[in-house]
Structure 1
Amino acid sequence: MSAKSWAIDIDRDDITQAELVAEAGTPLAPGQIRVHIDCYAMTANNITYAVFGKPSGLFGNDQGYWDFFAERGEPGRLPVWGFATVTESAAEGIAAGDRFYGYYPMASDAVLTVGKAGPGGFTDVTPRRTTLPPIYNNYQRIEALEGYRAADHDYWPVFRPLFLTGWLIADQFEDEGDYGVQQILIASASSKTAIGLGFALGQRTDRPETIGLTSAANVDALAAQGIYDRVVSYDQIMTLNAAAPAALVDMAGNGAVTRSVHSHFGSQLQASIVVGKSHWDAQADVEGLPGPDRQGFFAPGRSQKRIADWGGAAFGQKIAEAWLAFMDVAPRLASIDKRSGGEAALAAYKEMLSGMADPKTGIVVIP
C-alpha cells in the first residue's frame, strides 16, 4: 500500500482477520496533537491485548483494549508500545518535534488529546480513555525517561513494558513471602515477560528455585541464557519434585500445561498466577483443577499499589535501577529485528499471532 498514513484494522470477534487501511488526516481539535509513530514493538504481549480486546471487566468497568484507539462498533486498533514524534500540535505545552514514549495504535500516525502537559510529558484525556489505568494513558518525554540511554533505544518498546510486568510479579512474590514455596515454575519461559520475571527473581539472594517451563526444542538455548536455575520441557513436568511446595506463573494461558502442573503438585501448589494468553488458541481446560484457584495478575494495578506504597519518585527510581541492570544483559538475550512499512507491520502481526515468531528476536516496526 502506498498511502502516506496507514493503520491496521482487526476484527474484534476474530483476531485472525486484519487488514491494512489508508488513513485520511482530519483537522485537529483544540487540545489535540498528531504524532508520527517512529517505532513500536510487536510481541506476544500484543496478542494478549487482542485476546482481551473485548470488554471483560479487566479494568474494573466494561472496557477492553480495543477501546483505547477505536470507538465501539469500529474495527479494533491494537495497542502497541513505542516512540513517536509530534508532527502537528493544537495543544498548549506540546510542540512539533517533541518526542514521547508510550502507548500507540498499530498505525503510522495517531491523534491524541493532551491533558496535564508538563516537562515530563502528558496524559491522554480522550473521553473513552479517561477511566482506564493511568499507566496506559501517560506519555513520557524521552528526555524525562528514567533509566533511558540512547544505546538502549530499540530495546525500550521490546522489553520495557514486559520487563516492568515481570519485575512487578517478582515484587509481589517477595511481598507475599513467596507464598511459602520452594520452587517457582514459569510457563512460556522464553517469553520476554517471563525472562523479566526470571531476571528480577535472580537478583535476590534468598529466594525459591526458579524453573523455566518451555517446549523441548527451546530447552538448551534457554538454559544457556542463565536466567533460570533450571529449564524443563513441558513433557518433563512430571519429573519435578511434587513434595516441594510450588507456585506456577502462567504466561501462556495453555490449558494443557496448567492442568499438568496442577495435577502433578495438587495441594502442594500454593499459588497459580495467570499473566497472559499468548497461546490464544489453546483450549483453556481449567474446570475441576486440583490445587489453588487461579488468580489473575494485572500489572497496572500492582503499579498503582506500589506508587501508593512508595511514592511515584521512589517507584520510578526502583524501576530505573532494575531496568539498567537488565539492559546490561538484554543484548545477549534477544537481537533486534527491524521491519519497515505497513505491509511489514501486518506481516509481523500475523507472524506473532501464528506463534512462529522467534523468541530470541525483538521485532521493531518502523512505520
Structure 2
Amino acid sequence: MNSPENITRLLTRKDALDETRIDQVPEDLRAGEGEVLLRIDLCAITTNNITYAAFGDSMQYWNFFPTGIEGWGHMPVWGFADVVDSNVPGIERGERFYGYYPIASHLRMQPERVSPRGFYDGAEHRRSLTSAYNQYTRCSWDGYYKTETEALQILLKPLFLTSAMLADFLDDNGLFGAGQVVFSSASSKTAYGTASCLAQQHPRLRLVALTSPRNRTFVDGLGCYAQSCDYAQLESLDGTQPTLYVDFSGDLALRERVHRHFGNALVHSCFAGSAQTPEANVLGCPVGPMPSFFFAPVQIRKRNAEWGPQRVGAYIGDGLLAFYRQVSKGQAPALRVVESNGMAAAREVISNLFHGRVAADEGHVIRL
C-alpha cells in the first residue's frame, strides 16, 4: 500500500447547507496501533441528512466527524465501507461494514467491544455521542443483509428505524387518546413508513396526509393514508375529534395553523426534524400541547431495557423487509433508486435536497 496519500472529503458549510467543497487531507493510509482503516464505498444522501444538519450543533450532528475548520462540517451519512487495513484482532482486511460514515474516501476508527456482530468506534470525540450511531455492523453477521438490497438498506433502514420506533412510541402511549393522526410532509419516506406501521398496528386509526399539490398523486398512491389534502386545505379537516400531529416538515407557520385549527382537540404534537429551519420548536401563539422532539434512540433504549436487544432487532428487521417489499412493488414503485458516482454527484444531490428539487419517489445513493 502506497503512503502517504490523501483522504478526500466533502465538507458542508454549517450556515448554508447547499454550499459544499471538496477537501483533501494528506494521510498515511495505514492503520495505527488499535486502529482500522476503511474505504467508504456506497452511501445514501436523504432529506434526513439535511434535517439533522439544519439543527446542527444543537444535536451534536457535526461532532461525529470533526473537520477542524471553523464554520465547515462533515455530514454523516449511512453507508457501507470495506476494511483496507487493520491492527485490531477480530477485524480482517476485506470485511464489509454497515454504519454511519462521513462523505469521504476513507475513515480511520478505533474499534472497541469487537464481537461477531461488529464493533463500536471508541474514538475519544465520539464517547459522549449517542451509541446507536457509533455501532458498525459486520455484513457477514447480519441475517437481514443482502448484496442486492444494499441501496434499499442505506436509504430506508435509518429512516424506517425512526418510523418504526415513532410508531412504537405513539402506540406505547396509547396514541395519547387520538382517533386520527395528521402527518405533514406525508410524502417523505419517514412519514409514510410511520403511517404504514401505524396502519398495521391500528387498522381503525384514521391517518391523514398533508402534502404539497405536486406530491398529492404520489401520496394517494401509497395506500397508507385514509385521506390526503394539500396544505391550503388544512382547515377543511375535521377539527373536533382527538387528533395527534406528527410533523416532518418543521414548518413553524404550518404547525401554528395546525394547533389553531384543532385547538383543544389536539392531544399531542411531535416533530422529527426539519429540512427548512434550524429554529427550536417555538410556536408564536401556542395553542394546545407544546410540541416535543422525537429522537428514535431514546425509544430504542427504552425497548432494549424492556424487550431485550434481540426482540428489538427482530421488530425492526422484519418490519424493514416488509417495507422493502411495499416500496418496491408494482410497475410504479414508491421508491426508485438513483445511483450516482463521486463527490461531485454528492454535492449536487445535497443542493437539490436542500432546495426541494428531488422527486418524492427518488432515493439517491452515491458510489464513492
Q: TM-score, structure 1 length as denominator?
A: 0.93
Aligned to 1:7: 9
Per-residue Cα deviation, 1:65-113 (whole angstroms, up to 9, x for no partner): 1110115655310000011111111222111101000000011221111
Query: Take 1:19 and 1:46, find their aligned partners in 2: how far apart are those partners?
Result: 17
Residue 362 (structure 2) pairs with residue 361 (structure 1): yes
Displacement, 1:163? Answer: 0.6
Aligned to 1:61: none
RMSD: 1.8
What SS does the aligned partner of 1:257 have? helix
The number of residues matched between the two structures is 358
Residue 33 (structure 2) pairs with residue 37 (structure 1): no
Aligned to 1:156: 153
**Amino acid corresponding to residue 365 of structure 1 in structure 2:** I
Displacement, 1:15? Answer: 2.6
Q: Superposition pairs for residues 54-203 of structure 1, below 5 Å? A: 54=57, 56=58, 58=59, 64-70=60-66, 74=70, 75-203=72-200
**Amino acid corresponding to residue 180 of structure 2 in structure 1:** Q
What SS does the aligned partner of 1:356 have? coil
Deviates further, 112-121 or 205-214: 205-214
Deviates further, 154-163 or 143-152: 143-152
Displacement, 1:323? Answer: 1.1
Aligned to 1:295: 292
**Amino acid corresponding to residue 338 of structure 1 in structure 2:** E
What SS does the aligned partner of 1:155 have? helix
**Amino acid corresponding to residue 41 of structure 2 in structure 1:** D
Displacement, 1:146? Answer: 4.0
Runs of 4+ in structure 1 over 4 Å off? 71-74, 281-285
**Amino acid corresponding to residue 361 of structure 2 in structure 1:** K
Determine if contact 1:119/1:141 at 8 Å carries over to the other structure: yes
Determine if contact 1:146/1:320 at 8 Å carries over to the other structure: no
Sequence identity, in percent?
33
Determine if contact 2:183/2:191 at 8 Å carries over to the other structure: yes
Query: Take 2:335 and 2:324, find their aligned partners in 1: how far apart are those partners?
Result: 11
Query: Take 1:7 and 1:277, find their aligned partners in 2: how far apart are those partners?
Result: 25
Query: Take 2:223 and 2:358, find their aligned partners in 1: how far apart are those partners?
Result: 22
Show structure 2 runs of 5+ residues with no match. none
Query: Take 2:358 and 2:172, find their aligned partners in 1: how far apart are those partners?
Result: 34
Per-residue Cα deviation, 1:299-318 (whole angstroms, up to 9, x for no partner): 11111111111001111111
What SS does the aligned partner of 2:321 have? helix
Q: Superposition pairs for residues 261-276 of structure 1, below 5 Å? A: 261-276=258-273
Query: Take 1:136 and 1:104, find their aligned partners in 2: how far apart are those partners?
Result: 9
Query: Take 1:161 and 1:137, find their aligned partners in 2: how far apart are those partners?
Result: 13
Per-residue Cα deviation, 1:197-235 (whole angstroms, up to 9, x for no partner): 011112124442111110012112210121212211111
**Amino acid corresponding to residue 51 of structure 2 in structure 1:** T
Determine if contact 1:256/1:285 at 8 Å carries over to the other structure: no
Aligned to 1:16: 18
What SS does the aligned partner of 1:153 have? helix
Per-residue Cα deviation, 1:125-150 (whole angstroms, up to 9, x for no partner): 10010111111000001122242233
Aligned to 1:48: 51
Displacement, 1:281? Answer: 7.2
Determine if contact 1:201/1:207 at 8 Å carries over to the other structure: no
Determine if contact 1:182/1:246 at 8 Å carries over to the other structure: yes
Aligned to 1:259: 256
Displacement, 1:279? Answer: 2.1
Query: Take 1:177 and 1:240, find their aligned partners in 2: how far apart are those partners?
Result: 23
**Amino acid corresponding to residue 304 of structure 1 in structure 2:** R
Aligned to 2:324: 327
Show structure 1 runs of 5+ residues with no match. 59-63
Query: Take 1:206 and 1:348, find their aligned partners in 2: how far apart are those partners?
Result: 37
Displacement, 1:291? Answer: 1.0
Determine if contact 1:47/1:280 at 8 Å carries over to the other structure: no
Query: Take 1:16 and 1:362, find their aligned partners in 2: how far apart are those partners?
Result: 18
Per-residue Cα deviation, 1:22-60 (whole angstroms, up to 9, x for no partner): 232335331111111111111000002211221x2x4xx
Deviates further, 357-366 or 11-20: 11-20
What SS does the aligned partner of 2:157 have? helix
Query: Take 1:155 and 1:266, find their aligned partners in 2: how far apart are those partners?
Result: 39
Per-residue Cα deviation, 1:332-353 (whole angstroms, up to 9, x for no partner): 2111000101111111111111
What SS does the aligned partner of 1:355 have? coil
